[in-house]
Amino acid sequence: MYLPDAPAPSEGFLVTHSLTVSDQARSRTFYAGLLGGTVVYPENPCIIRLANSWIILNSGAGPTPDKPGIILEPPQSATRVSSFLSLRVADIQARHAEWKGKGAEFLTEPLDNHGWETRCYMRDPDGYIIEVGQPSEKMVALLTRHAGSPHAGGTGSAGSMTSLDLSSRPLRLSCERLMVAPPAVLFPAWTSSAIGRWFASPGTVLMTPHLNAPYFFETHFEGQRHPHHGRFLRLEPDRLVEMTWLTAAGTMGVETVLTIELTPSGRGTQLTLGHAGFPDEESRAGHAENWPIALEYLGKAFPASS
């Protein structure tokens, strides 16, 4: 059974954040209603998918055999904090206005933090503080340099990670399309918020083109949300993008591999798309039908060097 929207991995591990709350329904309204999360399970515990992670809401309780002597309870002080949730956003002013308009209690307006970021804090119904921060260009530049250093886990915006073993899932497809836009335009269309111009729903994209960096976005169709997520495996600027590609319905929660090759052709680009690791023939056939349509949208969104 595949559970892509729930924190139940079939391999490896996922990170979640558990909160002890006094009223699960009230907190569910805050994290799902105000912040826009998706309720995976309603209560005891309440599990909410929030962007690229999960919030687990549970009522307080006494010690248990696996945590002897430990009592779980909501915050007892509004001024003493040992940990907090941090939401990294692309536009802090817009998010602050949106969430404040929905009733969120902010401690201050967004403020500059020594040039590294703009940030502010809000409280949830139990008094947990939540940091909302937008990194500055200065911080992004620092992180980019570190991503390319020998001490980092990746190699910045060029290089490769170890590919997935797809030997047990050999089904794959490929398709090509001649694009009028050059590779320098199409590369960010797959690796940045520009994917919202032709594929993802605008405002849902969390994507930074670094090796092994996770990404997340949603598509909206006929009133339904369709989360997409994965990570970058190979990045060669203006030449190649390889990323894992995981959706609930499309790949049945299986981590497939999508490869985009960009070859200059006159003033345009010969785009070759490969998609591998499908769980079954139905999944492969559905993507074989839909990828050419998606590439047509890409071509219309980027008609030239725009």
Q: pLDDT tens digit string along 42-98?
A: 888 999 989 888 999 999 888 888 788 889 899 988 888 878 898 988 889 999 999
Residue type, 1: M
Instruction: Using the predicted structure, report yes or no on whether residue 31 has a pLDDT greater than 60.
Output: yes
Tell me yes or no: is domain 155-301 CATH 3.30.530.20: yes
| The CATH fold of domain 1-70 | 2,3-Dihydroxybiphenyl 1,2-Dioxygenase; domain 1 (3.10.180)
pLDDT for residue 110:
94
For residue 70 the two structure tokens come to 């430990």
What average pLDDT does range 187-213 have in this prediction?
91
> Which tokens hold the place of 5?
């929207």
Quickly list DSSP for 124-167.
Answer: -TT--EEEEEEE-HHHHHHHHHHHTSTTSSS-TTSEE-PPP--T
Residue 41 φ then ψ, to 5°: -145, 135
Report residue 14 as tokens: 């996922």
Residue range 210-242, pLDDT digits in tens: 888 899 999 998 888 899 999 999 999 899 999
Task: Provide the pLDDT confidence category of residue 203 given band limits of 50, 70 and 90.
Answer: confident
At 246 the three-state DSSP class reads strand
- Report the DSSP beta bridge partners of residue 240: 236, 261
Strand boundaries in 161-223, DSSP class E: 172-179, 214-221
Asked if the domains 75-135 and 155-301 are classified in one and the same CATH topology, the answer is no
Query: 269 near 186, Cβ under 8 Å?
Result: yes
pLDDT greater than 80 at residue 190? yes
Q: Decide: 122 and 86 in contact? Cβ < 8 Å.
A: no
CATH superfamily of 75-135: 2,3-Dihydroxybiphenyl 1,2-Dioxygenase, domain 1 (3.10.180.10)
User: In Å, how far from its chain's centre is CA 117?
Assistant: 20
